[in-house]
Chain A
Amino acid sequence: MSVQTMSLSGRKKEVSNKKMSFWESLYLVAIVKGLWITIGHLFTRKVTVKYPEEVRTRSAVWRGQHMLKRDEQGRENCTACGLCALSCPAEAITMTAAERKPDEKHLYREEKYASVYEINMLRCIFCGLCEEACPKDAIYLTESKVLVPASYEREDFIFGKDKLVMPLEMALANSKNKN
């Protein structure tokens, strides 16, 4: 088979430069055919998702925004071991460890806790490796469908403990459900 006649797709068409007849050169038939095709598209279903009003259904294993867990008594699980930061492929997590004071026993579960815990949401790729690495079940990715909101300032995307730690009421409600 020569190169000239070869066709990989089987749809190859020879270009024809034949002279058009008078009726063809008026293009009327061709235009009517085209109009028929486009009018069909007027009645097709539109695939657009009107985003803020309707949210597309997410996968069952969807990984939403992070949360730092509390236990049943409302104490933070995190011990600032740094394994999540180490496992993070995007290097989005930083933390500062601190020692628990005697009067803070109701706040933190173990003697060491994270006084600062920050995730840079611009770097995070929501892979969930931090959740896998955590030995204390402290950090996990929620099923929340809320996306990180847009902002003009880069600083707004660095989420600290104020945004990450599970609300106390939620922890208490969870423990109630368990009992």
Chain B
Amino acid sequence: MESAIIIEKSIFIFTIFAITMLAAMYSTWAERKVAAWLQDRIGPNRAGPLGLLQPLADGMKLFSKEEFLPNTPNKFLFVVGPAISMSVALMTSAVIPWGDKLVIGGHEVILQATDIDVSILYVFGVLSVGVYGIMIGGWASNNKFSLMSAMRASSQMISYEVAMGLSLIALLMMSGTLSLKEISEQQAGMNWNVFYQPLGFIIFLVCSFAETNRTPFDLAECEAELIGGYHTEYSSMRMGFYLFAEYASMFISSTILSVLYFGGYNYPGMGWAIEHWGVNAGNLIGVAVLFIKICAFIFFFMWVRWTIPRFRYDQLMRLGWQGLIPLAIANIVITGLVMVRHELAAALGF
């Protein structure tokens, strides 16, 4: 029994790992295609049909580049930086509920690597470690531009994490649980959290742009001021890891957004589908629905990138501290008042 669980979980983890990598890989392709379409161009179409082999060609190019090591005393940290970024981006996928459950040979398989009851805390904890990847990489590069970029990235991520956490508290007050699986289950049908927490959703969305270092908050990679940002000194696959980690974390962010606010694997008529087509078919459609939601969010990330220019640094900080954090606190207060409205009315004597 024990070994059966280990085998089941390892198969599942490997699948999730492969899917995350594949999604990150094809996000690079999708980014170039979306960029092209939004700018009235066609985009990559030479490598394979529709340019679908472009990520492979890019990867091959990165692998064949020279591994450059700057003259730095922190050679170990220089190598560790991209590794931290990458593993952090992949680690979050462990607690995501990708679907409800499958029944294979009378045995129930939960479509989640681990169902820990504090999965949101885990996600936040891991995401915060992502700062280290950038900070260490920028520091070890022994280059003032890299260092400045790393400082920017980390201060930006830390300040937006506050607003992100606050916007989430309102959601947690409603759901009463920290488990992503239970939050998903509570949103059955069209009972999605985004309809109850629209303001919280917007704040969370803006913050996830900042957390993943995407435009309009990609000040860490501001070419005009900071050359290439924290990965100026990186080349070859180490550079590829940083770029890849950005896309992987975009995928994970989209997943978390869909799970927390857009019902996760739930879709209208899920109960009917499970009743008529069986548990497996109904839940596999749920997995597909989750992936459609994720793709929609990834498209939205790209759509925004090719719409708005980069914020100025002071605008970014003002938006974070003076805009989003007060809004998030107001959101908590409003949610709390709505939740206790009956008790409040009784206490006030209505």
Contact = CB atoms under 8 A, between A and B. Distances in A.
Given A26-B319, A27-B319, A46 B41 contact: yes
Interface in A14-61: 22, 25-28, 31, 34-35, 37-39, 41-42, 44, 46-48, 50
Contacts of B39: 41
A38 B307 contact: yes
B2 interface: no
B308 A34 contact: yes
Where chain B touches its partner, the secondary structure class is helix
A37 B38 CA distance: 9
A39 B303 contact: yes
B313 to A, nearest CB: 15
Contacts of A28: 202
Interface string B306-335: 111000000000110011000100000000
Given A28-B202, A31-B307, A38 B41 contact: no
Given A26-B319, A26-B323, A38 B40 contact: no
Nearest to A45: B40
Interface string B31-52: 0000001111110010000000
A19 to B, nearest CB: 12
Contacts of A25: 318-319, 322-323
A171 B36 CA distance: 49
B69 interface: no
B307 A34 contact: yes
A28 B198 CA distance: 13
A82 B307 CA distance: 60
Chain A: number of interface residues, binned into ranges: 10 to 19
Contact of A42 (B38, B42, B323): B38
A46 B42 contact: yes
B304 interface: yes
Contacts of B38: 38-39, 41-42
Contact of A41 (B37, B45, B322): B37
A93 B256 CA distance: 69
Nearest to A44: B40
Given A25-B319, A46-B40, A48-B42, A35 B304 contact: yes
Contacts of B308: 31, 34
Given A42-B38, A48-B42, A31 B319 contact: no
A25 B37 CA distance: 30
A108 B52 CA distance: 56
Given A44-B40, A46-B40, A46-B42, A38 B303 contact: yes
B40 A47 contact: yes
A41 B40 CA distance: 6
B37 A42 contact: yes
B307 A35 contact: yes
Interface in B42-66: 42, 45
Contacts of A38: 38, 303, 306-307
Contacts of A31: 304, 307-308
Given A46-B37, A46-B41, A47-B40, 8 more contacts: A25-B318, A25-B322, A26-B323, A42-B38, A46-B40, A46-B42, A48-B42, A50-B45
Interface of A: 22, 25-28, 31, 34-35, 37-39, 41-42, 44, 46-48, 50
12 contacts: A22-B323, A25-B318, A31-B307, A31-B308, A35-B304, A38-B303, A38-B306, A39-B303, A41-B39, A44-B40, A46-B42, A48-B41
